[in-house]
């Protein structure tokens, strides 16, 4: 295998490759740009106009997305996957990946859209570097721009795999975008209603990319969950320009955030089982959380819980209350 096919090994070891540019036997160009960053270009005459950014490892302990990206890099290097567009593949937070921790100093996925300028440390430097790499990648005019930032929710979910759609100021999410997510075995899409500083929010707002944070299925043991395998199969078809049509009735379920539950003191308590699944229904009138005299009572019909994390730092989000949306006739 080509040395650049071992990008994950290079990244975890903190080493630069001896050869920064290599060609696969089928003429695909692999170009090492920086720590954890690989640019993939199809042979001349085989580019159908897609710029696809795939990132994983923003949180260094989310292993399934890291393995998915590693498998793709190896498949490209072997010639098993023949791209018909340009790819930028990023292991986003090498320092956290080497320690197998969520973050070293700061949550990297909260440092984009200029937020890195207000903090110190390695993750702030990395956020600026990632923004520069993405700026160079998305510099071409007249090309389709997509970004899938791969994550793992770190707990079981009623929806095996789901996407988070960043807020867009002037844009609707198209049925075509949702159909593409369906081909990737994504069962639900959470629509954000305010601006954030995540990686996918940066690429969506700054470059107009079709950008989503994708939460891949959790699994146990060494084998990948079936939903993740289905995601890989759909991704390889997309990269090779061989996507199959999808019926509109099969589009993912749409949800939106109703409320955030913020931890405000050491006395904060989530009143749900510690092993509760993402998207578990919340009974009307039930108490979701308590904190220093404050109570969060569920008053939304159809409410579900997402990302329950009672051990976060004070001032951070400890859970989300989300509700399903009715699908509109056109647009979102």
- So which residues are the catalytic ones? 215
Q: Tell me whether residue 151 is annotated as binding.
A: yes
CA distance 144 to 136: 15
Contact 255, 332 (CB under 8 A): no
For residue 62, say whether it is annotated as part of any ligand binding site. yes
Closest residue by Cα to residue 146 from 75, 86, 227, 62? 86
3-state secondary structure 81-134: CCCCCEEEEEECCHHHHHHCCCCCCCCHHHCCCCHHHHCCCHHHHHHHHHHHHH
CA nearest neighbour of 53 among 240, 203, 214, 185: 203
Token output for 186: 């994504």
Tokens (6 digits) for 214: 């994708």
287-291 and 269-270 strand pairing = antiparallel
**What are the distances in angstroms from CA 275 to CA 157, 183, 221?**
10, 29, 18
76: helix, strand or coil: helix
CA separation for the pair 107, 101 (Å, rounded): 11
* Interhelix angle 226-239/175-183, nearest 10 degrees: 120
Scanning the structure block, which residue is given the tokens 């989310």? Answer: 62
> Does 210 show up as a binding residue in the annotation?
no
Q: Could you tell me if residue 249 is left (phi over 0), alpha (psi between -120 and 50 degrees) or otherwise beta? A: alpha
- From the annotation, which residues make up the binding site for Zn(2+)? 59, 62, 151
- From the annotation, which residues make up the binding site? 59, 62, 151
């Amino acid at each position: 295998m080509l040395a650049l096919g071992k990008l994950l090994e290079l990244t975890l070891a903190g080493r630069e490759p001896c050869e920064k540019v290599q060609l696969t036997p089928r003429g695909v160009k692999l170009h090492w740009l920086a720590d954890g960053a690989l640019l993939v270009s199809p042979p001349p005459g085989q580019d159908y106009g897609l710029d696809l950014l795939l990132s994983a490892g923003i949180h260094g302990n989310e292993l399934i997305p890291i393995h998915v990206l590693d498998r793709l890099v190896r498949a490209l290097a072997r010639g098993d996957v023949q791209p018909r567009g340009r790819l930028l593949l990023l292991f986003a937070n090498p320092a956290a990946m080497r320690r197998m921790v969520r973050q070293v100093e700061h949550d990297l996925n909260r440092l984009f859209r200029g937020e890195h300028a207000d903090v110190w440390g390695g993750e702030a430097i990395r956020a600026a570097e990632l923004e520069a790499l993405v700026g160079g990648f998305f510099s071409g005019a007249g090309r389709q721009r997509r970004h899938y930032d791969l994550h793992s929710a770190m707990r079981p979910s009623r929806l095996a795999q789901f996407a988070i759609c960043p807020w867009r100021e002037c844009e609707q999410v198209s049925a075509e975008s949702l159909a593409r997510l369906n081909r990737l075995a994504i069962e639900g899409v959470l629509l954000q209603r305010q601006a954030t500083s995540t990686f996918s929010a940066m690429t969506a707002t700054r470059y107009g990319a079709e950008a989503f944070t994708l939460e891949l299925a959790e699994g146990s043991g060494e084998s990948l969950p079936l939903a993740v395998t289905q995601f890989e199969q759909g991704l390889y078809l997309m990269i090779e320009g061989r996507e199959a049509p999808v019926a509109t009735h099969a589009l993912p379920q749409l949800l939106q955030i109703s409320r955030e539950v913020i931890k405000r003191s050491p006395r904060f308590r989530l009143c749900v089982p510690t092993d509760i699944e993402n998207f578990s229904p919340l009974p009307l009138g039930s108490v979701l959380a308590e904190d220093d005299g404050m109570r969060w009572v569920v008053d939304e019909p159809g409410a579900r819980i997402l990302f329950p994390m009672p051990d976060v730092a004070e001032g951070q989000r400890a859970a989300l209350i989300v509700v399903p949306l009715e699908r509109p006739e056109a647009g979102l």
